[in-house]
Chains A and B, each alone.
Chain A
């Protein structure tokens, strides 16, 4: 059996009815008529490996899972894309990575590094412990900080806020000084080898700490640990996203929120929403904050629109259109703040607001915040300038 046939079998692509529901649902296909998930699957089924791996469209998929629930044959299209990209990378195709692939390069540098990183310099009054049952996984925020500060992203806020929330619950978590990138971006751009290296290093490092529970503020890290790590490394820990942790601890004996007068709308990141099915926890948290009014966008929960790019690959005009579309949708709700739980959604939205040409386009300015930042200000523990 060829690799392509194996992929088709594993992702159930053989069952494709060619009905085109995936293409109808695809946010990319709506803006780029030449893109069609169905056609790519068809190519694979016809055994046209040479054509498939060199398709620019193979890297256009947002892997947002919008198509999956609509498929009558239960084809796992994003997984198909993930595997086909890995195949493409053996043919020397790595897609047109955004930021010229700097973020993937950073991940590979981390994987091959022999020096300890200096990734915790930002810690100030957050309390962390050397030994604890709980580990907080910081993610790539220390790297995003210098890369995206010029578009107004304070990438460390979700990490700082999460630590403060954990502290408010009486937990002093561990944080790893030499934690590596979770490998999400490498996995989804076809570098399975690099991903495996990172997964194994992280798993070994975490195992050594003896942590029983890992808390994440990044939806992508969370998905990667939960769904992809078990295939490459064993890790016997409870995993939790910070929004779930907060939702579990609302109440008098847990977290007590002060008033925050804001009208907000919630954007489901695809990793937390459709990938893992977590829709209620973040909403419950927002509704529990007194004074806060949650309004829904037209497309929410399973129907939520993607932020336009994932794994920092193939960010093109189409990605920008999707972002503008989503921002306009958020604005039309009348909300003051667009809340999300994925740092990359935040980066992408803020980028769409400042990128060239937007001054001629529709007005898409809206405050974008991470859920953690709002919770931290409701608890009165947010950074001074953020309150």
Chain B
């Protein structure tokens, strides 16, 4: 916790085949990472609709992480490519809205990369603490 006591809220959409398994591995390997993240398992990063991200921001999350398989590893061949395209246009929307583009993060984390998952969350929480609460938060940040 830093000086002002702000704890960012993050929602992570993790794909069933890679990143969710990575989060699982982080847990079974007893790797510690900040508890600021709420993980939502989705079948593929390619199914994360823009509304998931917009709704998350609307309900007061400070950051959204979409995590999927590395390119070439997608269980559905090219779902992660679709996710990347979608994130690109979503970032433009967030930029126009006046938001920092980093509030939407896209990462490729394989099922063997539990450590990387924990590290990603750690770094993201630190970065969001620097950025401060999302301007769309309805209740003040704790």
Contact = CB atoms under 8 A, between A and B. Distances in A.
Nearest to B51: A100
Interface residues of A, number: 25
Contacts of B92: 145-146
B50 interface: yes
Contacts of B95: 118
B54 A147 contact: no
A113 B136 contact: yes
Interface in B65-106: 89-90, 92-93, 95-99
Interface string B38-62: 0000000000011100110110000
A101 B89 CA distance: 16
A320 to B, nearest CB: 20
Contact of B93 (A100, A101, A121, A147): A147
A119 interface: yes
A99 B90 CA distance: 13
A379 B59 CA distance: 47
B27 interface: no
Interface string A91-122: 00000000111100110111011111111010
A20 interface: no
Nearest to A108: B58
Report whether over half of chain B's contact residues are helix, strand or loop; otherwise say mixed.
helix
B135 interface: yes
A108 B138 CA distance: 12
B88 to A, nearest CB: 8
Interface in B89-139: 89-90, 92-93, 95-99, 135-136, 138
B54 A105 contact: yes
A330 B90 CA distance: 34
Contacts of B50: 99-100, 102, 147
Given A117-B97, A118-B95, A119-B96, A105 B58 contact: yes
A117 B99 CA distance: 8
A114 B135 contact: yes
B51 A102 contact: yes
A121 B93 CA distance: 12
A150 B50 CA distance: 15
Contacts of B136: 109, 112-113
Contact of A100 (B49, B90, B135): B49
A146 B96 CA distance: 10
A147 B89 CA distance: 7
Contacts of A146: 89-90, 92-93, 96
Given A100-B49, A112-B136, A147-B89, A117 B55 contact: no
Interface string A259-295: 0000000000000000000000000000000000000
Given A100-B50, A102-B51, A102-B54, A113 B93 contact: no
A232 interface: no
Contacts of B99: 115
B5 to A, nearest CB: 20
Given A102-B51, A105-B54, A108-B58, A143 B93 contact: yes
Closest 5 CB pairs of A and B: A100-B51, A146-B92, A115-B98, A105-B54, A146-B89
Interface of A: 99-102, 105-106, 108-110, 112-119, 121, 142-143, 145-147, 149-150
Interface of B: 49-51, 54-55, 57-58, 89-90, 92-93, 95-99, 135-136, 138
26 contacts: A99-B51, A100-B49, A102-B51, A102-B54, A105-B51, A105-B54, A105-B55, A105-B58, A106-B54, A109-B58, A109-B136, A112-B138, A113-B98, A113-B135, A117-B97, A118-B97, A119-B96, A146-B89, A146-B90, A146-B92, A146-B93, A146-B96, A147-B89, A147-B93, A149-B89, A150-B89
Given A113-B98, A115-B99, 16 more contacts: A100-B49, A100-B50, A101-B51, A102-B50, A102-B51, A105-B51, A105-B58, A110-B97, A112-B136, A113-B97, A118-B95, A119-B96, A146-B93, A146-B96, A147-B89, A149-B89
